[in-house]
């Protein structure tokens, strides 16, 4: 049976010291993908495309509001520019958890005209492990 939207997600990310921190209350929205590479192997003798599935991948973009309290989003993400830390990212909803080891390439802050301070942080798979829900 399908579930309706509006149920909460738990979002956790390792800080610069590799300690997993729950930052769900700071995350306003996010997008993630678990694509597979595809190789076209169509021979000239075919009249339709043949493909092979290749490697799995994972990407995530977290967006949120600035919070510099201990163990919250700014404390977790402020070291993205100064460390090369692989970070565990967990997305949990309705008893299902997707856990991946990621590298984050940016932690970008935007101060809007209305005075709001928001951030975005994109991450991609780091360790070659297939993204799997548990």
pLDDT greater than 70 at residue 66: yes
Strand partners, 101: 88
- Give residue limits of the domains in the chain: 9-125
| Chain center to CA of 15 | 14
- Residues near 112 by beta carbon (within 8 Å), at least 6 away in sequence: 118
Other residues' Cβ atoms within 10 Å of the Cβ of residue 58: 22
The pLDDT score that the predictor gives to residue 2 is: 52
pLDDT value of residue 63: 98
pLDDT at 7: 76
Only one residue has tokens 């949120």, namely 64
- Would the CA dihedral through 25, 82, 60, 15 be positive or negative? negative
The model's pTM is 0.89
The 10s digit of each residue's pLDDT in 74-121 is 999 999 999 889 999 999 999 999 999 999 999 999 999 999 999 999
Per-residue model confidence (pLDDT) at position 22: 97
């Amino acid at each position: 049976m399908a579930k309706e939207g509006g149920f909460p997600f738990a979002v956790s990310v390792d800080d610069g010291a590799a300690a997993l921190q729950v930052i769900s209350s700071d995350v306003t929205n996010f997008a993630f993908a678990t694509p597979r590479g595809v190789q076209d192997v169509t021979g000239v003798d075919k009249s339709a495309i043949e493909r092979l599935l290749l490697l799995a991948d994972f990407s995530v973009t977290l967006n949120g509001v600035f919070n510099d309290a201990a163990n919250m989003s700014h404390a977790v993400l402020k070291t993205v520019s100064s460390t090369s830390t692989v970070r565990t990212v967990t997305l949990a909803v309705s008893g299902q958890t997707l856990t991946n080891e990621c590298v984050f390439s940016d932690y970008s802050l935007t101060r809007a005209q209305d005075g709001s301070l928001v951030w975005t942080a994109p991450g991609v798979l780091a360790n070659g492990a297939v993204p799997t829900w548990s």
